[in-house]
Amino acid sequence: MITALIIGIFILFLLMGIPISLVLGMITVVYFFLNGNTALLDSTPMRLYSGLDNFGLLAIPLFMLAGELMNGGGITTRLVKFAKVFVGHVRGGLAYVTVVANMFLASILGSANAQAAMMSKIMVPEMEKEGYNKEFSSSLTLASSIIAPIIPPSMIFIIYGTLSGTSIGGLFMAGIVPGLIYGAAFISVIAYMGYKYNFPKSKKATGKEMWESTVKVLPALVVPFVIIFGILSGAFTATESAAVACVIAFLVGMFFYRELKWTSIPQILINTVVSTATVTFLIAMANIFGWLIAFEQIPQVFADSMLSISENPFVFLLLVNIMLLIVGMLLDGIAALIILVPVFMPLVTSFDIDPIHFGVIICINLTIGLLTPPVGTGLFIVSSIAEVRFEKLVKSSAPFLVVAIAILFLITYLEDAVLWIPRMIGL
């Protein structure tokens, strides 16, 4: 009876438009009163603090700071120009540039929402000038942004690793192959649509322009190279790589490109603090929500239900994907991740599924939720920035959504492809 009432109140709060972080905290307090466990309110502040007392979470503000420094230092624009010089001249070239540039930026930002917002400002107007349809330009920019949480560094991998006790470095390395697969898949879609709808071409760059662009972009490529090589070589952990990335991004932006100004540093720090506070507040609230899950024995009930359906890990993964695709339509990805990981992990152990592989599956699945209505935050962000009607954006994003889901199921059952790099370096 209490469980049904709590679920009803939870849905009501969401329908009222209350932020999910507040809903998690409020629903837990309501549960304490309904269940007579008000004594737990005394230890709630300590529980909130303990949810953030994890070294791995330090990577979140550091990678966010690195992204802000690279944006302010002109690094992101040079990556986009580099991609345009080399692939912009083929039919649909600017569309290819959008995908390739998103793959470059994915190794910097690690946040699909941040990437969707940035690329909507940069690429949609450029594609419109070249004669591309605004709806297509916006949907491609949105779809390409889901690569961000897959290619390292990834904020969602950091959160999953912290919650599940899985190697964050291993998750980073496991995301490389799926990220490349997604990039290749979206490029294939563009190739088909380009010849079908006769997409425009840009002027081919000269050899001199290609050389100059390559020289200019080399300092910008140092950051993702250091992150990946540092983890692969064991020189530093994922968290330490974030700190190194901040230093390099600062030096490149300040002294190589000279676009990063001392006067812009305060705003960069403010943006980093605000973004970090949003995520960490959600994590803290979700930590006290874990009490509710534990008291109601939800992981045990869920595990028993799954095992009663099938003991085949392939069937379990199929059911998980279907469930997560539905959840991703209704909940923010990070919130869903924080709520569901403690529920799923006992089953992951029972079915003898590699936690790194499962982490890639669940993170990609929830990231696809950015493309799905009614709550897809990516849809709202791009719709607002690009000034495209929401329903038209949903329709034009459909081909990319279908491809994204197809690749998700491919990755689900190609464990060796996902774990090839982590196994190669012993993670």
Give the whole-number percent of the chain exceeding pLDDT 90. 6
Each residue of 289-341: pLDDT tens digit? 777 776 776 666 766 777 777 778 888 898 888 888 887 776 777 777 877 88
pLDDT of residue 93: 76
Please report, as a single letter, which amino acid is at residue 228: I
Average pLDDT for 44-52 = 74
Q: Where are the domains of the chain?
A: 1-50, 51-424
Each residue of 246-256: pLDDT tens digit? 888 888 888 88
Average pLDDT for 42-48 = 76
Average pLDDT for 410-415 = 90
